[in-house]
Amino acid sequence: MTIYERIDRAYACIADVTFKKDKWVGKWVVTRDEKGEKIRKPDLSQDGYYVISITQILDAVQKAHA
């Protein structure tokens, strides 16, 4: 297998992965639940956005590398 074939296979493997924006970058609101424990929630009224976590990207690259 040539290097170009390996690159094509790795590219196809990464392209097949469905990434999900699961990490909030912005302000958090801390509240308490009925048990009195702290809960952190994204403050959607402020500027912020969701991003793809680096762990998802690394998992996809490691699978393609293998």
Residues in the chain, overall count = 66
Q: How confident is the model at residue 1 (pLDDT cuts 50, 70, 90)?
A: confident
pTM: 0.65
Domain, as residue range, for 50: 3-65
What single string gives the DSSP state of each residue in 13-34?
HHHT----EEEEEE-EEEEE-T
Q: 15-27, pLDDT tens digit by residue?
A: 999 999 999 999 9
Domains of the chain: total: 1
Radius of gyration over alpha carbons of the chain, in Å? 19
Q: How confident is the model at residue 12 (pLDDT cuts 50, 70, 90)?
A: very high
The answer to whether residues 61 and 14 touch, using CB atoms and an 8 Å cutoff, is: yes
pLDDT above 90 covers what percent of the chain? 85
Mean pLDDT of the chain: 93
Q: Which residue has the tokens 């170009």?
A: 4
